[in-house]
Amino acid sequence: MNFQWYPGHMTKAKRQMQEDIKLIDLVIELVDARIPLSSRNPDIDELGKNKYRLILMNKADLADRKATEQWSAFFKKKGYYVVSLDARSKNGMKSIADIIMEACKEKMERDRKRGIKNRPVRAMVVGIPNVGKSTFINSYAGKACAKTGNKPGVTKGKQWIRLSKSVELLDTPGILWPKFEDQKVGLRLALIGSIRDEILNTDELAVELIRFLKTQYPGILTERYEVEETQKETELLCGIAENRKCITKGGELDYSKAAALLIDEFRSGKLGKVTLEWPKEQENG
């Protein structure tokens, strides 16, 4: 599969981020817990060097809990602070506030020693499109938090949201673009819905999803669609079409409709909690 992005668009976003990142102490990077590596852009490591780093594995409600635990350990070993969450829920936001303080304790200590009081930690949210950046900012900042208004030296229009006495968050997230060097990465991004569906071949995507689920989550398709998993992927898709009565006007099985339905049910978590990549794969190359 081939994907096309607009370089101008990307360059502008990157330049903006380079500017914004100068203003902050902590990068809050959102990734999708179902594909924690494929939903990252490694450029952030260069952009965010010398910054405190927190990775939020978002949409953890849709991911395999065991995989999320392993990914959490994987990133912690690399020196990031890590939290997994469902950004739509306000539960857990308190613990994120605590972790931000923990991640920045060095800076606070340094400020204290220098006699600097009440200088808040400044943070910004970054991530690829659709990982939940806006949802997180809304949940985290809530309605109660007043915007602090423009400050001298800050690009006009940029707002800081005061989260607590000691933390301020930039109100606009930084947008990163996913990297498609590897075909597997493109496929995984497509499966979670990070690429516009109009440019995808849904039938092909469904076949890939079936292939993956058959081997990695045996029984999951049988349970939902009463299909025999020993069949070939395309036959399995027919089975799904039959089970869900996906029929064309001409009275034939509608594979495309079944494919779209399968992908939709996967994305919304109806098939169960599924993670598409594991840290073990990484270690094995």
List residues binding ligand GDP (CB under 6 A): 58-59, 61-62, 86-88, 127, 129-135
Q: Using CB atoms, what's the residue nearest to ligand GDP?
A: 132
With CA atoms as reference, report the closest residue to 121 among 137, 109, 104.
Answer: 104
Closest approach of ligand GDP to the CB of residue 34, in Å:
10
Gap between the Cα atoms of 132 and 31, Å rounded = 9
Residue 59 or 214 having the CB closest to ligand GDP: 59
Cβ proximity of 41 and 174 under 8 Å = no
Closest approach of ligand GDP to the CB of residue 239, in Å:
27
Secondary structure class of 50 (helix, strand, coil): coil
Cβ proximity of 101 and 94 under 8 Å = no
Q: Please indicate if the annotation marks 273 as binding a ligand.
A: no
Closest approach of ligand GDP to the CB of residue 36, in Å:
13
Cβ proximity of 86 and 61 under 8 Å = yes
Cα 142 to Cα 94, 129, 134, 139, 145, distances in angstroms: 12, 21, 11, 5, 6
Answer positive or negative: Cα dihedral of 245, 251, 253, 254. Answer: negative
Q: Please indicate if the annotation marks 250 as binding a ligand.
A: no
Residue 51 or 59 having the CB closest to ligand GDP: 59
Residue 269 or 279 having the CB closest to ligand GDP: 269
Q: Please indicate if the annotation marks 58 as binding a ligand.
A: yes
Q: Please indicate if the annotation marks 60 as binding a ligand.
A: yes
Structure tokens at 85: 């969450």
Closest approach of ligand GDP to the CB of residue 117, in Å:
34
Closest approach of ligand GDP to the CB of residue 183, in Å:
24
Q: Which residues are annotated as a binding site?
A: 58-61, 130-135, 174
Q: Which residues are annotated as a binding site for GTP?
A: 58-61, 130-135, 174
